Amino acid sequence: MRLGSSLLKPLLAVAAVLAVNACGHGSRSAAYPDFADLVDVVSPAVVNISAVTATPPSDSETAATEPAPSDNADEQVPEWFKKYFDNHPEVAPQAPEDNAPESQSLGSGFVLWNDGYILTNFHVVRDAKEVVVRLLDRRQFTAQVVGSDEPSDLALLKIDATDLPVVKLGDSGKLRPGQWVLAIGSPFGFDYSVTAGIVSAKGRALQTEQYVPFIQTDVAINPGNSGGPLFNLDGEVVGVNSQIYSQSGGFQGVSFSIPINVAAKVATQLKERGRVARGWLGVVVQEVDRSMAQNFGLDKPEGALVAKVVANSPAERAGFKPGDVILSYDGQVLASSTALPPLVGSSDPGQIATLDVMRERKKITIKVELGKLDAQQEAQADTDTQPPTTAPAGPLGLVVKPLSDAQRRDAQVVSGGVLVDTVGDGPALRAGVRPGDVLLQIGGQQVDSPQRLAEVAGRLTPGVSVPVLVQRRGAPLFLPMDVPQKK
């Protein structure tokens, strides 16, 4: 039977739509990877870790492991992953003979070398009296902590076993946002749980570990995943799952992993020496905002602004000055100040580093021989005494006075500076200067007395913005200040 043309055209149109939809569904299905074979291959090298830790009784113990309630979610401090291991609800720890309470920390790890070396997070085995490692085949071993490194939150364990399955290491430097990644661990004690997602960003800086440029992912990570591996689609480890950003203690779509390039170097040093040696430059840096960029002659906000040069440091010997903006480190451009510490920390002590610096609106190059981070010495307080006089408020709206010896020590100021006593209406107030700040510089000019402040303020060019360097709660801080026009 033949169909009339009036019926044939609609049927062909429907068939075409169905074909397109079928092709579309097929292409979408093909875009999602099948992780099953990958999991079968890599799981034997993943381990479960249980650490028994003696903890003194404390009324605040519960508060330390649960997020503090708040009517305003924005006011809550991020609850990092490591706070949620203690007092696991499924574990009833046995009391030791001395009746000191114990808690059990649960985490994950992976076999790095086949003669029994296992990598995990430091916070999983912190202060552990006993560490037990369980393999996929259910064998259990008591592990020895070979070495740990708190700044990177990594620890290397050793069990008495040979010919173990090991992970294959990838190159975390080649990761790109949007790539698929896979995590295997023991969230809440559920062994060998598999979760997947994508790389959200690279080079994230966190307050807890400033020497680690974290990989951010949306892989579901929960208590018990910590220390476990993050795999790429080639079955290579590209990160160590470490922390989550959460206001509830559970997964909220933002997870952080230590890049394997960083972790592998730390693990090698822990195996060889039991500790990690890091390079040390000896500067305190801060972010460069748009106002600061204009003040220092930059086309855009970038680099690391040197707020303080530590006394007797490699930076001081190389000639660094407060107000320098470090633009690159050994050829690697610094998009922000947080990029500098991981680069310096991953360098070896004694290494000669080349830094491009913006100083007084001119680009210069400084070479510096890095020191050793643990060799840092505290700056000695200046013992010079000054009379307790107070200068009247000037055009900046500041009332300042010299620093006493005790105030200088408390503020951690070696030399120079004046104590801000009062901040009246004026440019300094609008810039963010506060009473109690120690004023060190204005527009690159040192301030060491009320008279010197008046002299420097009187030479400022009206209508321009200048950097003001203060010491606040022991930390240096640059503030942009607009110099008012003369009336």
Handedness of CA 214, 217, 221, 224 (dihedral sign): negative
The C-alpha atoms of residue 215 and residue 173 are separated, in whole angstroms, by 10
Catalytic residue among 103, 105, 108, 123: 123
Specify the 3-state DSSP secondary structure of 128.
strand
Q: Which phi and psi angles does 162 have, rounded to 5°?
A: -130, 165
Catalytic residue among 50, 103, 148, 153: 153
Is 160 designated active site?
Answer: no
Q: Which of 172, 186, 200, 226 is catalytic?
A: 226
Whether 71 sits among the annotated catalytic residues: the reply is no
Here the tokens at position 464 are 């321009």
Tokens of 37: 């074979």
Which residues are CB-contacts of 100 (< 8 A; sequence separation ≥ 6)?
A: 54, 55, 56
DSSP 74-85: GGSPP--GGGGS
Structure-derived torsion over alpha carbons of residues 152, 154, 156, 159, reported in degrees to the nearest 10: 180
What are the residues whose beta carbons fall under 8 Å from the beta carbon of 425, sequence distance 6 or more? 397
105: closest CA among 89, 125, 78, 81?
A: 125
Tell me, yes or no, if 88 is annotated catalytic: no
Among residues 97, 78, 85, the alpha carbon closest in space to that of 121 is found at 85
Q: Cβ neighbours of residue 181 under 8 Å, at least 6 residues apart?
A: 175, 196, 197, 198, 199, 217, 219, 230, 231, 232, 238, 239
* Phi, psi of 226, deg, nearest 5: -60, 130
Give the closest residue to 258 by CA, choosing from 77, 74, 124, 88: 124
How many other C-beta atoms are found inside a 10 Å radius of the C-beta of residue 206?
A: 18
Among all residues, which ones are annotated catalytic? Answer: 123, 153, 226
